[in-house]
Amino acid sequence: MASERHYSRADRLLLQADAALRTLLPFSGQPYRPSPAITQPDVDLDSDDARHVAGLMRINHTGEVCAQALYQGQALTAKLPDVRAAMEQAADEEVDHLAWCEQRIRELGSHPSVLNPLFYGLSFGLGAVAGLISDRVSLGFVAATEDQVCKHLDAHLQQLPAEDGKSRAILEQMRSDEQQHADSALEAGGLRFPLPVKFGMSLLSKVMTKSTYRI
């Protein structure tokens, strides 16, 4: 059996830089699974609905940019190899969501948020700090973040036009995946964050959603 390859800190920094470029450059991330939208019929939305749905999908796309950065930052500083591997695996799974959202945004005639590099940097820093504190805090941060994402997805699903089956299929699959990530993080020993911390995270997420809906 081949031994596991060990990366130096410099190697990991280069891998993080590569991950950042693949996250932020248009159409750089290749999904592992086909988009759930391909099974849904094409429907012409009126201009107001298309603009609104594009704004919702832009929020979700930026959320996936943040998730990528969070996991990459945590993987860089995680202390236990199995936790680091779990973070890297979760980041791979989030690539699907990133690509699906970007494709749908383009189909709606819009573009991802220009603020994505800013939010990537902030999220990477938060993930790295959480990993430095402890793996238990790092896993707890994943669970709390995914909980916020699920709430956003639930709200967005309620706002979608009934005829927009493509966006709905994407968000429903994302909702299922994100809940699994949250549950897995807690099962792995993640800390359950107290309500005041979750409230603070909720305020930060509102800043992201308000700013990326249009830009």
Q: Which residues are annotated as a binding site?
A: 64, 94, 97, 146, 178, 181
- Packed helices 9-24 and 47-77: angle between N→C axes, nearest 10 degrees: 180
Pick from 92, 119, 90: nearest CA to 182:
90
Residue with tokens 């590569």: 18
The Cα 212–Cα 57 span in angstroms is 10
Virtual torsion, Cα 182, 34, 115, 54, nearest 10 deg: -100
- Taking the C-alpha atoms of residue 48 and residue 63, their distance in angstroms, rounded to an integer, is 23
The annotated binding site for Fe cation is made up of 64, 94, 97, 146, 178, 181
Sign of CA dihedral 180, 181, 186, 192: negative
Query: At CA 106, angle to CA 104 and CA 107, rounded to 5?
Result: 60
Cα torsion for 92, 63, 33, 176, to the nearest 10°?
100
CA nearest to 75, candidates 126, 146, 128, 141: 128
What single-letter amino acid sits at 31?
P
Give the total residue count for the chain: 215
